[in-house]
Amino acid sequence: MKQPLSWRYLVTAALLGLVAFAVLAQIVRIQTDPEIQDLIGRSDWQVRYYYPARGEIYDRNGRLLAGNVTVYEITVSLPDVSDPQAIALAAQMYLGGDFATTLELLTNPPANVTSIRLADYVSAEQATVLMDMQKQLNEDPNGNPLAALGFRAHLGRSYPEGELAANLLGFVAQNELGYFGVEARYNNQLSGIPVALLVPADPRRAVELPQIPPGASIILTIDRQLQADVEEILSQALLETGAESGTIIVMDPRTGEILSMATTPQFDPNNYTSVDDVFTGETPYNRAISQAYEPGSVMKILTMAAALDNGAVTPGTIFLDTGVINVGGEYIYNWDGGAWGYQDMTGCLAHSLNVCLAWVATELGTENFYAYMQRFGVGHPTGIDLAGEITGRLKLPGDDDWAPVDLATNAFGQGVSVTPIQMVMAASALANDGQMVYPHVLAATLQDGDQHNMTTQVASTPVSAETARTISEMLAYALETEASQALVPGYRVAGKTGTAQIPTPYGYDPELTNASFVGWGPLDDPQFLVYVWLEKPRSSQWGSVVAAPVFRQVVEKTVVILGIPPDDVRAQLAGH
């Protein structure tokens, strides 16, 4: 269970309740005040909602990721229209409007309408052209055909980095609501409290506007430079491997802070109206939290950790791998169909032996295996503070579709589905002395000059610190003996590859796979945890070939940006 909420969250909840009450009171006042109702009944007055400046979003080092720019609403005062064709032509040339449609609206407006909107969220550059033209025509002795145009400046959302971290940020539409990611999850805090005012229907008539407090600004745990580097590494990996999509997550396993979250397809939230063209069909906006899949052999680290913690096996336990094992009446084979003979548990991980891990699960026992998997959060949402998280599924004994063979296949990551963020959260327990932390992207909020920092929350302790250190050492040794492409010069890291067949309605696809790698380091003081997932790579189906090198590239960038010295340097510094 989550730890009790701090007083800050209780205060925030109370403030949000007051906000809701204030909005409701304003609505009631407008609907019941006779004077206001009298004005509303007049065609030359209208109720308009004025939105405060939306809070800005920064990376952990104060670099702006989402802010506001001045845009314009352009309207026409119908009683002042002298030349509808000139206005329709200007709308076509400078606002992208349709000449015939605009002309029809100007010459045959709806009944009792005195003002129409030509366009909204027009850039300052575009609006300035029309405003300058209107001023110049004011000197025309024959009259100003654009005199009926009105310009209302307001704020619109802007993403100065374009596609950078867009899948994590989400976007804000013209209805002032945030969609997906951070913008949706923290919409109430960012948007502030709108104010309803009665204003003249003619936007050219001056009205004194209130000073509206801006929404809260947000500081994220994301490092902008690391995010950019990881996105570039992912793009290059997709190009080189031919994978359909990919996801890379970098997290601090000690705190749960997400340092980078890159996924595809990429998208420019400044042009959010194209969202349906980019994310077609069932394509999720953020695969890291919204796409579940069978992870394959990366799950073996959880199976082995559970068995070590339970005492069902030790690192030195010897298993005779004959290349096949019968579980629940079904035969399980190794990834290469081979028999690897006598292996200790480190060898089973190093060679990623399905048969061995299936046997380990049977030694652990059905009840214990599934209890540990649930303690690792498999099949449950992580609670990450991003909109759109889904759950995977861990079938349990007693479910209608569970069979005894699932114990074996689940042990090596088949027949169970997770999201990338679920695997990151589970692996954090092994990198963090047994303590599994909640992943999060919020570092702090800024409101009225005060900064409120997010605190680390431990979700649970699935295994002991001793178990976590033991399996980390086993995984590091396994990488080193296999001369893995995940090895990073100067740093000892622990990690595991994953290669999972992809289920179809007719069984598993014999050719396409999900390739992945999860790892952390430096081994003696883990400060980063990296998860790589490439969907359906074409150059090779094996995680050890396509995902492991990506892990290495990400770590090489991470240690530089985070300022983590090589192992020998840190050892020398510790000696002083």
Whether 137 and 196 map to the same domain: the answer is yes
Residue 280 lies in a domain: no
The mean pLDDT value of the chain amounts to 90
Model-level pTM greater than 0.85? Answer: yes
- Output the domain CATH number for residue 370: 3.40.710.10
Structure tokens at 232: 């570039």
Q: What is the mean pLDDT of residues 504-509?
A: 85
Instruction: Choose one of 184, 204, 220: the last residue of a domain.
Output: 220
pLDDT category, 104, cuts 50, 70, 90?
very high
Q: What's at 496, amino acid-wise?
A: K
Whether 178 and 230 map to the same domain: the answer is no
Instruction: Choose one of 164, 188, 220: the last residue of a domain.
Output: 220
Q: Give whichever of 87-91, 190-194, 432-436 has the largest mean pLDDT.
A: 432-436
Whether 373 and 467 map to the same domain: the answer is yes
Whether 179 and 258 map to the same domain: the answer is no
- Rounded Cα distance, 541 and 520, in Å: 23
Whether 200 and 228 map to the same domain: the answer is no
pLDDT at residue 194, rounded to an integer: 77
- What is the biggest distance separating any 2 CA atoms in the chain, rounded to whole angstroms? 100
Q: Which residue did the predictor score with more confidence, 209 or 570?
A: 570
Q: What's at 55, amino acid-wise?
A: G
- Rounded Cα distance, 298 and 412, in Å: 7
Q: How far is CA 236 from the centre of its chain?
A: 20
Among positive and negative, which fits the CA dihedral 208, 211, 216, 219? positive
Residue 273 lies in a domain: no
Residue 275 lies in a domain: no
- pLDDT above 90: residue 375: yes
Q: What is the mean pLDDT of residues 1-7?
A: 45
Instruction: Choose one of 195, 220, 245: the last residue of a domain.
Output: 220
- Rounded Cα distance, 454 and 59, in Å: 14
Q: What is the mean pLDDT of residues 476-494?
A: 94
Q: What digits encode the pLDDT tens for the residues 452-463?
A: 998 889 999 999
Residue 189 lies in a domain: yes
Spell out a b/e string for 529-566, using b for 16 or more CB atoms within 10 Å of the CB, else e.
bbbbbbbbbeebbbbbbbbbbbbbbbbebbbebeebee
Whether 250 and 367 map to the same domain: the answer is yes
pLDDT at residue 210, rounded to an integer: 62
- Output the domain CATH number for residue 19: 3.90.1310.10
Q: Over pLDDT 90: what percentage of the chain?
A: 76
Whether 183 and 239 map to the same domain: the answer is no
DSSP-assigned letter for residue 489: T
Q: What is the mean pLDDT of residues 524-531?
A: 97
- pLDDT above 50: residue 261: yes
Residue 272 lies in a domain: no
Q: Which residue did the predictor score with more confidence, 96 or 165?
A: 165
pLDDT at residue 35, rounded to an integer: 53
Q: What digits encode the pLDDT tens for the residues 193-219?
A: 877 776 666 555 555 556 778 899 999
**Total length of the chain:** 576
Whether 432 and 472 map to the same domain: the answer is yes
pLDDT category, 4, cuts 50, 70, 90?
very low
Whether 496 and 515 map to the same domain: the answer is yes
Residue 83 lies in a domain: yes
Q: Over pLDDT 70: what percentage of the chain?
A: 89
DSSP-assigned letter for residue 68: E
Residue 62 lies in a domain: yes
Question: C-alpha angle with apex 263: 419 to 439, nearest 5 degrees?
Answer: 50
pLDDT at residue 414, rounded to an integer: 95
Q: What is the mean pLDDT of residues 299-325?
A: 97
Whether 263 and 183 map to the same domain: the answer is no
Residue 124 lies in a domain: yes
Domains contained in the chain, number? 2
User: What is the H or E stretch that residue 555 is in?
Assistant: helix 548-561
Whether 323 and 399 map to the same domain: the answer is yes
- Rounded Cα distance, 417 and 505, in Å: 15
Note down the domain range covering 172: 7-35+48-220
- pLDDT above 70: residue 26: no
Whether 178 and 262 map to the same domain: the answer is no
Q: 477, 498, 478, 476: which is closest to 548 by C-alpha?
A: 498
- Beta strands of 159-256 (E only): which ranges? 171-172, 178-179, 195-200, 217-220, 245-251
pLDDT at residue 5, rounded to an integer: 44
